[in-house]
Structure 1
Amino acid sequence: MKGTVGELGEFGLIRELTSRLTTTPAVRLGPGDDAAVVAAPDRRVVASTDVLLEGRHFRRDWSTAYDVGRKAAAQNLADIAAMGAVPTAILLGLVVPAELPATWPTELMDGIRDECQVAGAAVVGGDVVRGEIITVAITALGDLRNHEPVTRSGAQPGDIVAVTGWLGWSAAGLAVLVRGFRSPRAFVEAHRRPEPPYHAGPAAAGLGATAMTDVSDGLIADLGHIAEASKVRIDLHTAAIDVPTQMSDIGQAVGVDPLQWVLTGGEDHAIVATFPPDVKLPARWKVIGEVVSPSALPQVTVDGAPWDKAGGWDHFGELEPGEQHGAGPHGPHGAAL
């Protein structure tokens, strides 16, 4: 496809975007009307939304439009899975400048579509607007399938803390990109296109998870939300946390303790949950800590002590020396309301 978004026009762009979409049985009415219709057999709809802004959440010299699409969909679909729900649909709000090559939004849609297919969902509608800064707003929907949602507030003293998925890979990949390199490729790709374990959320709910979240802003930060909501202390055991050899090599090369990435790096969208101590977890889950007795000061400790190093992402916090707004060092999206 040649030309710019402006030359294609609003309705031409919409036709190009919708022509690339696939559907699922849950979609009763897709794009093309005033609103979409998505089946909700449970009669409850789980919903989450995020906004990605060029220059803060992604850079076009680091990520292709397809990468951005995969990432934008993944971080929203992971939120649905972290509630114990099955993703069903995505709505897209897109702001683009008129001079943007028309191939960029179409490749973005390809990425969103393909990530939806991984999770079993579909794009069902949205809106496009002209603006100066590329902005991608995603709303994801999900179905609980007659189960109760797994919230952040249910962790109990004596529960175990377990995680499934990658930890620290995206942060290590970002460290590589910041220094102008593109390898090790596996870590760079983990930053560009996270791979959330979507199946693990509903499975954890079925196993009796008492609290759950995805790791978007860092393991300590996101477990901190569970600790605060549940009014408990969570203690992590570093001896139980794996640090891949190649990540250690990257850390040595750039002068960073790789455990810092594992404990505070976001954007991997692993699933972390608390479970009753007698639960039998599948092999893909790794027990990394425990929930300690109720605490007047809910917090996350590491090997029994507070973590005294910086970490976790706060969109309204101050940047630390060497950090960039350009791609979000720890977490790409703001806190959920």
Structure 2
Amino acid sequence: MTDPLLVADLSESQLLSRIFPLLPHGQATIVGPGDDAAVVRAPDGRFVVSTDVLVENHHFRRAWSSGYDVGWRAAMQNLADCAAMGARTTSLVVALVIPPSLEVEWVTDLARGLADACALHGAAVVGGDLSGGENVVVAVTVHGDLEGRGPVLRSGARPGDVLAHAGVLGRSAAGLALLEADRSAVSPGLVESFLRPAPPLDSGVDAAVAGATAMLDVSDGLLRDAGRIAAASGVVLDLEDPYVVLAGDVAALQPACEELGTDPLSWLLTGGEDHGMLATFPEGVQLPQGFRAIGRVKGTVVETSDRQTWTGSIPESPMTVMVCGAAPTVDGPGWDHFAG
């Protein structure tokens, strides 16, 4: 049996020559990989830009994740950031740190994962950087086109708006928990949700067209990310009964809950990395296909010299996010990169 080809066996140019042919070109690309920089059309006159990283043993483990899985996740979490602004992704640039002992096939699988996720949404991978290091790091910068629309910010929610969500909740967190407990066979679908999330990216543009007042993607948990909309908008959000409005997700989580003895609310409210769209819409607006109403904007935060008070029908003790008018009954607000 032939030993696998390692990164250390190839020069940088040789490795790149295996990666470039796998990457999608995209309709907005004028100059792709191979020069000092790419050139991408921006017909709107503006472009949306965001960046994110995946770090080995922090965001993924090679024991669980194939190169394809990591490439897919790296693309999807960035595509979701762009979609949450109401934009369509045009291009990505990818910086990759890899150890010399890594198999070349793992790296080309990562490129295939990136390519398939991007091609699914008409986006290109137009370049990046390659470096050696002790662990795998994938840093992606995404660019998007607003197509003449205004960006949908986190700061536009207003009292009376409907809070709605498109996509799934809690499934990526449940899949991670199953992997950590070595129980992945209990629910392969949940594990797949962690390894290869499939957010409804078109819903971001649909929400913008429908008049969404605020939006983001749920990457760090529903409570934490809803709190970001609340803080940016100066309002309080009140979620309806999760067992009712999120009944489909509760049912999907049940096998893992029974196996691990976990309350589904923990994953539903604090589990991240499903990358669904969380948005607010004016009352009376027909929600775009795929969105479900899960709560309301109940009041406005009023800053005073010594405390916060609220306008609207809300409790005296201020909270930016409530569940059925009360404090959430789960531990922790969601994922934090430094607090864990």
| Structure 2 counterpart of 1:53 | 55
Native 8 Å contact 2:32 2:38 kept in 1: yes
Q: CA deviation at 1:298?
A: 5.8
Judge conservation of contact 2:203–2:290 (CA < 8 Å) in 1: no
Deviations 1:277-303 (A, max 9, x none): 110113411100000110235611111
CA distance in 1, matches of 2:63, 2:177: 15
What is residue 66 of structure 1 aligned with on the other side? 68
Counterpart of 1:99 in structure 2 is 101
Equivalent of 1:169, from 171, 187, 192? Answer: 171
- The equivalences for 1:308-323 within 5 A come to 308=329, 309-317=331-339, 319=340
Check conservation: 1:232, 1:298, Cα contact below 8 A: no
Structure 2 match to 1:80:
82
| 1:181 paired to 2:183 | yes
- Aligned pairs (5 A) from 1:161-310: 161-183=163-185, 184-238=187-241, 239-242=244-247, 243-295=249-301, 296=308, 297=318, 299-308=320-329, 309-310=331-332
1:108 to 107, 110, 122: 110
> What's 1:13 paired with?
15
Tell me the SS of whatever aligns to 1:306: coil
- Contact 1:172/1:250, CA 8 A, preserved across alignment: yes
Whether the 8 Å CA contact 1:88–1:141 is kept in 2: the answer is yes
What is the aligned partner in structure 1 of residue 314 from structure 2?
A: none
Q: Distance in 2 between matches of 1:55 and 1:316?
A: 14
- In 2, Cα distance between equivalents of 1:311 and 1:300: 10
Counting aligned pairs with the same residue, the percent is: 49
2:152 to 150, 153, 161: 150
Deviation of 1:80 (Å)? 0.0
Of 303-312 and 205-214, more deviation after overlay is shown by 303-312
Q: Deviations over 1:2-59 (max 9, x none)?
A: 4111111111111111121221210011001110000000111101101111000000
Task: Give aligned pairs, total.
Answer: 318
Q: In structure 2, what is the Cα distance between the partners aligned to 1:45 and 1:92? A: 18
CA distances 1:86-145 after superposition (whole Å, capped 9, x unpaired)? 011000000011111111111101000100011210100001001111111000110000
Q: Is the 8 A contact 1:265 1:311 kept in 2?
A: no
SS in 2 for 1:234: strand
Please give the secondary structure, in 1, of the residue aligned with 2:125. strand
For normalisation by structure 2, the TM-score amounts to 0.91
Paired position in structure 1 for 2:305: none
AA matched with 2:245 = A
Q: Secondary structure at the match of 1:129?
A: strand
Q: Which has the greater radius of gyration?
A: 2
Identify if the C-alpha distance between structure 1 residues 173 and 249 changes in structure 2 by more than 3 Å, giving closer, same or farther.
Answer: same
Amino acid at match of 2:232: A
Unmatched 5+ residue regions in structure 1?
320-337
One-letter amino acid matched to 1:275: F
> Would you say the 8 A contact 2:94–2:139 is kept in 1?
yes
- Higher relative contact order structure (alpha carbons within 8 Å, sequence separation ≥ 6): 1
Aligned-partner residue type, residue 193 of structure 2: A
Shift of 1:311: 3.5
More deviation, 302-311/59-68? 302-311
TM-score for both structures, normalised by structure 1: 0.92
Measure the CA separation in 1 of the matches of 2:84 and 2:290: 16
Matched-pair contact (CA < 8 Å) for 2:240–2:294: yes
Give the partner amino acid of 2:256: I
Deviation string for 1:196-246 (max 9, x for gaps)?
111000110000000000000001100110000000000001232223424
Pairs within 5 Å for 1:35-50? 35-50=37-52
Cα distance in 2 between the residues matched to 1:233 and 1:311: 15
Distance 1:231 1:246 in 2: 34
**Aligned partners of 1:117, 1:19: CA distance in 2, in Å?**
13
CA distance in 2, matches of 1:10, 1:311: 43
